[in-house]
A and B are shown apart, each in its own frame.
Chain A
Amino acid sequence: MTTRLSARDVTLGYGDRVVSTRLTLDVPDGAFTAVVGPNGCGKSTLLRAFVRLLTPDEGAVTLDSRSVSDLPAKGLARELAFLPQDPLAPEGITVRQLVARGRYPHQSLLALWTPDDERAVAEAMVTAEVEDFADRQVAELSGGQRQRVWVAMVLAQDTPYLLLDEPTSFLDITHQYRLLALLSRLRNEGRTVIAVLHDINQACRFADHLVAMKDGRVAAEGAAADVVDAALIKDVFDLPSVIVADPVSGTPMVVPE
């Protein structure tokens, strides 16, 4: 397992409130890593530290052994793409215009479009299945469609790493599975996917690498089949449960008692 992206002994927090203390995590390349854990355990905070939205109080987030804070802003943005929980769509923007914003880190001052830019936007819209409503306003779309538009924007960024903070919230179950299948497909094409997921069973089914967090630390990590058992679920989620095999994929499935 090779690793380009790591968090090394990072202490993370907002002002006086410390979320994580001396946390270390290596993100395996070319894998689908799912981060799970109860609300407020520091999952989102960790993701925000990776994309430099939060500077660690101690330690460092490194890419190829260089601290991300030493990288130029656009340089980092060509490596890591991030879909937050709270993106804002400017009033009156169309789907195509919004997806095109993903090309920002690839463009120079004058925002001239290269054929690469145009291709990346077109491909991202096809991949995320939003080209049918490419010229409609984002504000008019349903929640599920809107989320796919944001995914398309992140895809247009064309980065080896995709970080997504709870991308399946607000989606119905069909679109949840379609989005996760899409992320798996992107992983198969060679991208590294890191997603905070709410549903542990979905995480077990789709992720190659599962990171369970509690109180700002990593409680367990590894392949889902190796790490998920009743004791871990009790420890992390404080939920008594029985672990059975998922009848479709054979991965662990948590059934609360």
Chain B
Amino acid sequence: MTSAPPATPPTVRTARPAALAVGLLALLAAGVASVAVGARAVPVGEMWGAVADFDPLNGDHLVVRDIRLPRTVLGIAVGAALAVGGALIQTLSRNPLAEPGILGVTHGAGFALTVGAALGLAGSAVSQLGLGVAGSVLATALVYAVGRHSTLRLLLAGVAFSAVLMGVSLGIRLTSPDTLDKYRFWAVGSLAGREQADLTVPLVAIGVAFVGALVIARSLNAVALGETVAHTLGANVARVRTVTLVLITVLAGAATAVAGPILFVGLIVPHLLRRLTSGSVPWLVGLSAVVGPILMLVADTIARVLLHTGEVPVAIVTAFLGGPMLIWVVRRYGAGSL
């Protein structure tokens, strides 16, 4: 209820770099664990050997280079993309319910996949990737067309359009068991096996969009204060909004295309960090890009070893890791102002 303090308290100013340092260390640890842990445990020494002195006959080296390392990189990219996308959409819309897939990305991809599967086109990983990207882009373009005039309308348009796509694809799935069978495995996001596809394009897209997010974050700082204030501060609100929306779509679209829907990461990470960053969007974006991957890698590592029967999809683990954290933060510090 009380208005936010106008100046950044000094404790926060030192806390943010400290948090970034701690976060980077934690990310390093999570990365090492992600490479080491799995059905075949790899000693840390062999890990280094696999990179510096690769021996194609060493089983550990092969596992590291062909599976674990790519999967870890993928986890970092997906986690960062989702968390940064979430930070951007929540800041832009000032709505804590907003997640990066809200603009139609998730259900667009799901719809395309359903239609593709019903038509028998979704056989290979590559075709699934293509369908996902095409669906996301089309759905998001339509949501923009209806909602581009205001952020609130954009959210509603996103929700409404997602609902239409969800309804239609659900109808298709319910009449075709085959399609449902394909879809239900895609619908729970996972990193397992996704590292085998060619990931150059999604990774480059995420990297470029992340740099864009850091650049636009300063302008978003102004927009977060309300559109009127932003105008007086000299920000071009319309352009900032358009660029931000494109960035969100690229981030969420690329992540969803490679890993399926794991959007909870994008929802929760900004919430966890909002109090720490106390209103600074650049810090929120930067820290999200560190904490998102940590959550993702830890969840993915746990997902590999949780059950003897096989891997648990990572989206399930992220929810059960992140959910209690979010509840704890909200109970301890309040829901935070947006």
A contact residues vs B (CB 8 Å cutoff): 14, 85-86
Chain B interface mostly: loop
Residue in chain B with minimal CB distance to A143: B228
Nearest chain B CB to A20 CB, angstrom units: 14
Q: Determine the residue in chain B with the shortest Cβ distance to A85.
A: B3
Residues of B within 8 A of A86 (CB): 1, 3
Cα distance A135–B296 in the bound complex, in angstroms: 53
B124 contacts the other chain (Cβ, under 8 Å)? no
Distance between Cα atoms of A106 and B130 in the complex (Å): 63
**How many residues of chain B get a CB closer than 8 Å to chain A's CBs?**
3
- Which residues of B (1-36) have their CB < 8 Å from a CB of A? 1-3
Contacts of B1 in A (CB 8 A): 86
The interface residues of chain A lying within 8 Å CB-to-CB of B3 are 85-86
Tell me the nearest residue of chain A to B2, going by C-beta.
A14
* Bound-complex Cα distance A86 to B1 (A): 9
Least Cβ–Cβ distance between A211 and chain B, in angstroms: 20
Nearest CB in chain A to that of B334: its residue: A15
Instruction: State the CA gap A86–B3 with chains docked (Å).
Output: 9
A-B contact pairs, 4 of them (CB 8 A): A14-B2, A85-B3, A86-B1, A86-B3
Give A12 Cβ to nearest chain B Cβ, in Å: 12
**CB proximity of B161 to chain A, nearest CB, Å:** 21
B2 CB contacts on chain A under 8 angstroms: 14
**How far, in angstroms, from A14 to B3 measured CA to CA in the complex?**
13
Which B residues are in CB contact (< 8 Å) with A85?
A: 3
* Chain B positions within 8 Å of A14 at CB level: 2
Q: How far is the CA of A208 from the CA of B3 in the complex (A)?
A: 29
CB closest residue in chain A, given B6: A39
CA distance A85 to B2 in the complex (A): 10
Q: Which 4 interchain pairs have the tightest Cβ spacing?
A: A14-B2, A86-B1, A86-B3, A85-B3
Chain B residue nearest to A15 in the complex (CB): B334
CB distance from A56 to the nearest CB of B (A): 16
Nearest-Cβ distance from residue A107 to partner chain B, whole angstroms = 26
